[in-house]
Structure 1
Amino acid sequence: MAKPLEGVRVLDMSHVIAGPLASLYLAQLGAEVIKIEAPLGGDVMRSSKGAALTDEGDTPAGFAALNAGKLSLAVDIRTPEGADTVRALARTVDVFIENFRPGVVAKYGLGYDAIREINPDVVYCSISGYGQEGEWSRRGAYDHVVQALTGMMMMSGDGDDAPPVKVGFPVVDVAVGMLGALSIVAAVHRRSREPEGQRGQYIDASMVQASLMLMYPNASSFLTHRTEPKRVGNRGYTGSPTADTYRCADGWLATAANTPAQFRKLVAVIGLEALCSDDRALDLASFNAPGGGFVIARDLPYVQQCFQDAFATRSAADMEVQLNAVGVPAARVRKLGEFLDEVQAGNGIALRTTSYRQQGGAKVRTPGLGFSYRFDGAPSTTGAPSLGQDNPALLAELGFGPDAIRSMRGEIGAAAY
């Protein structure tokens, strides 16, 4: 079946997570993505091998999951020949992606202005830590550093005096990659409506902006009312006293009894019905108002203690089943692997995983793209390329002869950016 981005060609000069995730979406949706890599080693993720993964060649699972379905062209952009090769290829593409610090690719004649001169209709996306403007724009950025800078670390954890706590995975890298893909797809769609020569677009996507989008309700509240978010630990965003996480006899349980109706169902299951008429526990006027809203505690520590005591002797697994059965969102706290194993062994969730086949027969399994189309082609099963795997075909397309192609192929492993 056809894919929505078939016919779109992408030149991808990105590395590690953010940019490669953006172009992964494009590749899996049908675009031809040409990944530009340094001849020595290529993308640093090619070296991200786990201790037990000794037979992966230069395409370990971490790299393959982010670069499946792409082509690899290994050239040294620091040399005039390498930069000229990339410029020649840039004439043929619809999209150009880079995620170096601002100004780096421009040194080699590969910045937006230079590429626009030879390809006025290009959609050019720059992904960076701090954006393309401002005094901080040339700073280096890593996920946990941006979490610290933007206040995300001080939203995690419990209490004002607790140390900062980072989100336990590269959430900002992933978010900016998704936003990059979204903005590129929108710009590609715009190209179909504009006259030739006016179809181009420049996209400035940053980790800082992605971080703020992840905290969008809280950031908007501060910008509007100067309300600094409180650190609520494992409590839910609504602030309802039973949007919380409790220790049970066999683990932990998260509940989300946000509304009065959900609260009444929860207390009926665990025998705390008296709280519904306890004016020490709840704001009863709000609790009993027609239509209602979120539950408001008058004495939060008292309410919390009531529920902590009630859950302490109960099974988290049993409570998950019982509460969901009456319409109260609840889940036993699991590790990632435990959750994935459980889902794949049962019928609880239709998780559409994707497997990519590497050279040599190795298979890399992923959770897919986060969505699926009913009436379009599924993700490709083609794995990630070896470093410089597509040099011969791409260089021949650009007019290089056999000797020049062999010479450039021989440089792989001998130079680096």
Structure 2
Amino acid sequence: MFEDLIVLDCSTVLAGPSVGTFFAELGARVTKIENPAIPDVTRSWKLASEDRNVAVSAYFSSVNYRKNYLKLDFKNEFQRNHLIDLVKTADIFLSNFKKGDAEKFGLSDTYLHTINPQLIIGKISGFGSASDRVAYDLILQAETGFMSMNGTPESGPVKMPVALIDVLAAHQLKEGILAALLQRTKTQKGAVVSVSLYDAAIASLANQASNYLMQGYIPQRIGSLHPNIAPYGEIFITNDGKLITFAIGSNKHFELLCDFLGLGHLTSDRRFSENVERVKNRSELAEIIQEIISRCDANDILEFMHRHFVPAGLIRNLEEVFKETSARDLVRSETIDNTPTKRVSQIAFQLKS
């Protein structure tokens, strides 16, 4: 799709490099450029089981795929000039420079557009271009409300187990760059697309933001439960020791669940007949459901739910996830610096013409 597209990826860590990988998977020629003395820090972010002498890590591999690798020190005039030569024919330039670094390196937006007016410059920052704060995903999760909502009353605030704010910012940047590419077909001019982790996080608060903005409701830590729907996120233990959860989004779903469990009388019980009442009485409802679930095997439950289009699922670990063919189909393998690497695809859509 993008075989003629040339991308220079000067970004590090997760958000920016994943954008480069996205375009690489779609056929673009992507060159990742790193400082020879200070390479991408995620090369060193290794599990205890990883070889410390190998130049890549699983973390680094997760968002670097099908790229060429080039070491350039922008403070070195000869090497900087090499970068400038590459910029002249590039379509996209990705970076997450700290505030002032682009100017220090002589790589301001204005200068880059002087040498290549059609260049699309994609930039990621932590708290916006005017801020010099160092931003890691954890800090953004803390400061944009995600940690305050995540966890249980007993656990206290908990961060999400993936760098989700980075992932969300990367998607925002991809969308912005795709829009700029479309615009360029009409104007023949480049653009600057800027995304901050902060804005991406706030923009992703979705229903939780509206619960507060419209009702003044400050979300509490309720584990996997949903503040607006019940049963939704309660975890039940089956007869065969499996963990199962339901997303009962409608009265019809609830009727079918009760039908399977032999609890049809609950659909006319004023405590549970409507979703708003189920939310109010969710603890009592969960106890009733658990009593029956504990006598049922997971496969029997899921077979009925899937057949009747009731959202339900097992809670799986990653070993169990990647036993599934549909998950394995998204795995991409590549050797980087003589090291076999694997990651999941940055592309989850299917495009047919």
TM-score, normalising length: structure 1: 0.77
Q: Post-superposition shift, 1:18?
A: 0.9
Larger Rg: 1
Q: Distance in 2 between matches of 1:164 and 1:244?
A: 19
Q: Distance in 2 between matches of 1:245 and 1:22?
A: 35
Is the counterpart of residue 352 in structure 1 residue 342 in structure 2? no
Unmatched segments (≥5 aa) in structure 2: none
Q: Contact 1:242–1:263 (CA<8 Å) still a contact in 2?
A: no
Is 1:276–2:257 an aligned residue pair? no
- The CA deviation string for residues 187-211 of structure 1, in whole angstroms up to 9 with x for no partner, is 11211111x4xx2211111111222
Q: How does 1:256-405 map to 2 (within 5 A)?
A: 256-279=247-270, 281-282=271-272, 284=273, 287=274, 294=275, 296-297=277-278, 298-341=280-323, 343-344=324-325, 349=326, 352-358=329-335, 363-373=340-350, 375=352
The reply on whether 1:146 has 2:140 as its aligned counterpart is yes
Equivalent residues of 2:229, 2:248 under 8 A apart: no
Whole-Å separation in 2 of the counterparts to 1:72 and 1:363: 16
Q: Distance in 1 between matches of 2:268 and 2:336?
A: 66
Partner of 1:45: 42
Letter in 2 for 1:85: H
Deviations 1:119-154, CA, capped at 9 Å, x for gaps: 222211110111113xxx110011111101111011
> Residues 355, 242 of structure 1: CA spacing in aligned structure 2 closer, same or farther, 3 A cutoff?
closer
State the match for 1:387 in structure 2.
none
Q: Which deviates the most, 319-328 or 29-38?
A: 319-328
Distance 1:320 1:238, change over 3 A: farther
The change in CA–CA distance for 1:246 and 1:183 in structure 2 (over 3 A counts) is same
Deviation sequence 1:334-388 (CA, Å, 0-9, x none): 11221111x13xxxx4752343331687543333234254548xxxxxxxxxxxx
Alpha-carbon distance in structure 2 between the residues aligned to 1:223 and 1:336? 36
The answer to whether the 8 A contact 2:93-2:121 is kept is yes
Regions of 4+ moved over 6 Å: none
The residue correspondences of 1:17-28 to structure 2 (distance < 5 A) are 17-28=14-25
Contact 2:321-2:327 within 8 A present in 1 as well: no
Corresponding pairs, count: 351
Q: 2:175 aligns with which of 168, 177, 182?
A: 182
Q: Which has the higher contact order (CA 8 A, sep 6+)?
A: 1
TM-score with structure 2 setting the length: 0.90
The structure 2 residue matched to 1:129, chosen from 126, 129, 139, is 126
- The answer to whether the Cα contact below 8 Å between 1:317 and 1:332 also exists between their aligned partners in 2 is no
Q: Among 230, 241, 246, which residue is 1:240 paired with?
A: 230
Question: Is the 1:175–1:210 contact (alpha carbons within 8 Å) kept by the matching residues of 2?
Answer: yes
3-state SS of 1:34 partner? strand
CA deviations on 1:282-311 (whole Å, 9 max, x unpaired) are: 2x4xx4xxxxxx463253332222123222
- Secondary structure in structure 1 of the residue aligned to 2:322: helix
Determine the structure 2 residue equivalent to 1:410. Answer: none
> Matches of 2:114 and 2:213 in 1, distance apart?
39
CA shift, 1:237, in A, is 5.7
Instruction: Confirm or deny: 8 A CA contact 2:261 2:292 kept in the other structure.
Output: yes
**Separation in structure 1 between the aligned mates of residue 54 and residue 151 of structure 2, nearest angstrom:** 40
User: In 1, distance between residues paired with 2:89 and 2:211?
Assistant: 45
Q: Please list the CA deviations of residues 197-240 of structure 1 after superposition, one character each: whole Å capped at 9, or x if unmatched.
A: xx221111111122223322222443455432343321236422
